Structure 1
Amino acid sequence: MTDHANTAIEWLMRAGYGARGVVYLIVGGLAFFAALNGGEAEGTSGALVFLVRQPFGSVLLAITAVGLFAYTLWRLVDGILDLEDEGDDAEGYANRAGQIMSGLTHAALGVSAIVILMKGLRTSGDDSSAENWSAMLMQHPVGRLVVIAAGITTLSVAIYLFVKSWKAAHRKDIVRKGMAETLEPMVRFGLAAHGFVLLIVGGLILWAGITANPERAAGLGEALRILETQTFGRVLLALAGAGLAGFAVYCFVMARYRIVPRLTDDTLKTLASPAS
């Protein structure tokens, strides 16, 4: 690829991670303050509604939507061209498929942002999209299997995030900089917390598919509200909120310091490189 193409891909990546970080920072912040003040946690759709209600909210939401679509394009190009050097074996193809799925998920979130912009403040922040698409899918013969597969996929992503946090696998993709190293504990906490919340989401979607009951499916906001109803629910919600804010920090670190393996000089030092 030409230098211009490489630069464009890197900018798509950085804009995408930045927009993703904004969404999770709002989700985490709302959850944390809901735990402190007794409000209600919101999911990603609720975060977009919250954003549009702020001063210059329409402009901020439009910029965020552009960033989310940039993330989609980055992940599609990444997965198709294997910019991460995942390889051509079964594991490599599975990882590349996961990258593409991540991009498509954020495309759906970008579409939600556009819908909110078109409807303005009349749009509800109710995070019922998982229930809605589950109900739609179950109207078709193989829909129930698709919902089950979606639940398993979400659970797989959750486990992947736990492993990524435990092994600090992301360090090989981050340039060795003092700020990136300083933020590392928060980044790892954020990855694990996001994985924990996705375990709940994936489990609920899987159970909805197994029982053929779309009302059991839930998205991120509902998962947070379920946490709040448990013993020590406020504490759990506060930890989850702080963790999702930590995941936002991970996104911001990636936006600023991430490298693309196949587009980067091999001599560049990353956080995984041996200290000189």
Structure 2
Amino acid sequence: MTTAQNARAAARRAADTPALDRLARVGLACRGVLYALIGVLAIQIAFGSGGEQADKGGAITTVAELPFGSVLLWVMVAGFAALALWQASEVLFGHLRPLDRAEAACKTVVYALIVFTLWSVLTVGRAASEDQKSQDVTGKLLDLPAGQLLVGVIGLGIVGLGVYWIRQGVTKKFREELELGRMSPRTRSVMEKLGVAGYLARGAIAGLAGIFVVQAALTHDPDKAGGIDATLRAFADTPVGPWLLVLVAVGLMLFAGYCFGESRYRRT
């Protein structure tokens, strides 16, 4: 076995340790906390009492303001770092289909960014606006040669992600990631309902966010793009009024329940 093969084998063994598995499950529960808080913040926005941004940064800032908030944030750092390492190991060593490998790579980046946001709140006291970050990145991309085309493709990719999540919910494909044999029939039924509602809500948000990015490309206006907060607020501006935002927010909170169950029953 070559030195490179030895290194890969050692890295794979490190990724398969029981300690990393337990920390990754903590991370899945922490993911549920974030989605629950985003849902609560979105409902507050719907009824005109929102203060924090309804995104991961706003949720993390809310956690920081709780008693022993810094302790909880350090737990979340460990959990999301473990999730990032786990997904990275799947990309590098897992026997995955190309689409599943791409999804694992995207999750690695997302979890790493959450760790960065947590670190920012711990050191600076507050997370930067995800809407502003999205607009800044979009603006820099638009300034590149063929920038409009690039941003448009990214926007269509985000729309595609939303469609993919909606399909995951409608077909209940997320069940493939769960150890269904360990669940009672009642638990399985509850997890399926939570998963369907959660994936539909996430898909709706991603789809609308992608449309905003496409609009930014077509108009060459980075201000058209936005993060989760701007997308959620857009639901309140529809003819249905704030009730559509409430419906999506409830879907996010149900997905939080799915995440808590996933932390116990996820295949790792």
With the shorter chain as reference, the TM-score category is 0.7 to 0.9
| Contact 1:79 1:99 survives alignment (8 Å) | yes
Match of 2:79 in 1: 67
How far apart, in 2, do the equivalents of 1:126 and 1:160 lie? 23
Match of 2:35 in 1: 24
| Contact 1:46 1:127 survives alignment (8 Å) | no
| Contact 2:60 2:118 survives alignment (8 Å) | yes
Residue 24 of structure 1 aligns with an amino acid whose one-letter code is Y
Match of 2:119 in 1: 114
2:145 partner SS: coil
| Contact 1:130 1:217 survives alignment (8 Å) | yes
How far apart, in 1, do the equivalents of 2:121 and 2:232 lie? 22
Residue 80 of structure 1 aligns with an amino acid whose one-letter code is L
Which of 224, 228, 238 in structure 2 is aligned with 1:230?
238
Which of 28, 50, 75 in structure 1 is aligned with 2:62?
50
How far apart, in 2, do the equivalents of 1:3 and 1:49 lie? 32
Residue 193 of structure 2 aligns with an amino acid whose one-letter code is P
Residue 142 of structure 2 aligns with an amino acid whose one-letter code is M
Q: Are 2:92 and 1:80 aligned?
A: yes
Change in Cα spacing, 1:126 to 1:4, as seen in structure 2 (3 Å) is closer
Tell me the CA shift for residue 155 of structure 1: 1.4
Moved more, 167-176 or 212-221: 167-176
Moved more, 198-207 or 31-40: 31-40
Tell me the CA shift for residue 160 of structure 1: 1.1
Greater share of helix residues, 1 or 2? 2
Residue 200 of structure 1 aligns with an amino acid whose one-letter code is L
Change in Cα spacing, 1:76 to 1:142, as seen in structure 2 (3 Å) is farther
What pairs up with 1:1-276 in 2 under 5 angstroms? 5-36=16-47, 38-39=49-50, 42-82=54-94, 85-86=95-96, 92-121=97-126, 127-141=131-145, 143-176=147-180, 177-178=183-184, 179-260=187-268
Moved more, 15-24 or 160-169: 15-24
Instruction: Using structure 2 for the length normalisation, give the TM-score.
Output: 0.84
Instruction: Using structure 1 for the length normalisation, give the TM-score.
Output: 0.82
| Contact 1:49 1:124 survives alignment (8 Å) | no
| Contact 2:39 2:250 survives alignment (8 Å) | yes
Count of aligned residue pairs for this structure pair: 252
Tell me the CA shift for residue 235 of structure 1: 0.7
How far apart, in 2, do the equivalents of 1:188 and 1:229 lie? 25
Identity, in percent, stands at 26
Cα RMSD over matched residues?
A: 2.3
Structure 1 spans left out of the alignment, 5+ residues: 87-91, 261-276
How far apart, in 1, do the equivalents of 2:103 and 2:223 lie? 26
Residue 108 of structure 1 aligns with an amino acid whose one-letter code is L
The one-character-per-residue Cα deviations of 1:143-194 (angstroms, maximum 9, x if unpaired) are 4444333222211211111111111112122223133432321221111111
| Contact 2:15 2:85 survives alignment (8 Å) | no
